[in-house]
Amino acid sequence: MDKRVYGVLGISAIMANWNADFSGYPKTITSGEIFGSDKALKYPMKKMWDDQGDKVLYIKSLRFEKGKKGATSLIPRSLKERYEQLFQVEDLKKNTDVKEVLENLFQAVDVKNFGATFAEASVNISITGAVQFGQGFNKYEECEPQEQPILSPFRDATKATEEKGEAKNSTLGTKIVTDEAHYFYPFVINPAAYREYMELGVTEGYTEDDYNKFKETALVSATSYSTNAKEGCENEFAMFVETEPHLYLPNLTQYITFEKGENKNTIHISAGEVLATLKEQIKSIEIYYNPSTTEIADDLEGAKYYHIVTRKEV
């Protein structure tokens, strides 16, 4: 692929928790500003690829293990075990040809996009991914975490005491969500990251097909991924700026602001002047959003606008 791509992905979370810390609350920096990590965005993409039958290496998978007393437990596979399962390798320790391992790694769609750190069975490989995400900061300042008490249908039998006997009541839990948050992630795609591996003959590099596959998944993966905490999270915005290979753009999320409206929300993109100055080196600009819920306040020169759900030009 003979170009670089810069962009922004926007995720809305309505009464949902896009990315929690270990306390269960949405992740924040020291100033209290809410953000989502790049891992929170990558996981739904990897899960979607996995569900489609693509090879995904860095995703949790389970196996049964028999203990010393014959009892069976369910445990996650190690990286070595996942590699052996995915690429039908009997024992990685007996097959540590680095060229073969590299060729296999580049067959995994998550490695092809995001890179890998692979240190198993005397094979130590680090691949810098062609696709790099920044942290996704919430641009809606009125966002507030909400706690919801949840009543379990079961009592906790472990709470028994000598004085009171077994627990008589159902247990209580807590679900923590944000009332409304709007995360915006910057990203860049640099196909030149794999130039050395192409010269080694272990990959054809990051291709147009790889980019199109990433693009399609990036537009829908948050919407498609439904768990109790993630239901209510949706892809609401995407911006793809395709440029000449040697053009370097700054983080585009710094040009984006979010405004809550009574009927529709407004996303402002103030990068028009910067992009217009560099238009000779910019191949295309595509912006995806839902016109039913969102308005784009700024008209970027040369940009094409699409409905994020239907993909039809707006």
pLDDT in tens, 87-115: 999 999 998 899 999 999 999 999 999 99
C-alpha 176/C-alpha 195 separation (Å) is: 45
Looking at per-residue pLDDT, the higher value among 252 and 162 belongs to 252
**pLDDT score, position 160:** 57
Confidence tier at 165 by pLDDT (50, 70, 90)? low
User: Would you say 246 and 201 are in contact if contact means Cβ atoms under 8 Å apart?
Assistant: no
DSSP state of 88: T
C-alpha 97/C-alpha 104 separation (Å) is: 11
Domain map of the chain by residue range?
Answer: 4-146+175-307
Q: Is the per-residue pLDDT at 307 higher than 70?
A: yes
User: Would you say 308 and 237 are in contact if contact means Cβ atoms under 8 Å apart?
Assistant: yes
- Which is nearest to 188 in space by CA: 2, 12, 57, 9? 9
**pLDDT above 90: percentage of residues in the chain:** 84
Phi, psi of 83 (to 5 degrees): -60, -45
3-class secondary-structure state, position 287: strand
Q: Is the per-residue pLDDT at 164 higher than 60?
A: no
39-68: average pLDDT:
94
Q: Is the per-residue pLDDT at 162 higher than 60?
A: no
Q: pLDDT tens, 259-283?
A: 999 999 999 999 999 999 999 999 9
**pLDDT score, position 31:** 93
Looking at every residue in the chain, the average pLDDT score rounds to 93
**pLDDT score, position 154:** 75
**pLDDT score, position 4:** 98
Q: Is the per-residue pLDDT at 202 higher than 70?
A: yes
Q: Is the per-residue pLDDT at 233 higher than 60?
A: yes
**pLDDT score, position 228:** 72
Q: pLDDT tens, 137-157?
A: 999 999 999 998 888 787 776
3-class secondary-structure state, position 194: helix
The pTM (predicted TM-score) of the whole model is 0.92
237-243: average pLDDT:
98
Q: Is the per-residue pLDDT at 163 higher than 80?
A: no
**pLDDT score, position 149:** 85
C-alpha 44/C-alpha 11 separation (Å) is: 12
**pLDDT score, position 169:** 62
Crossing angle for the helix pair 38-51 and 208-224, to the nearest 10 degrees = 100
**pLDDT score, position 8:** 98
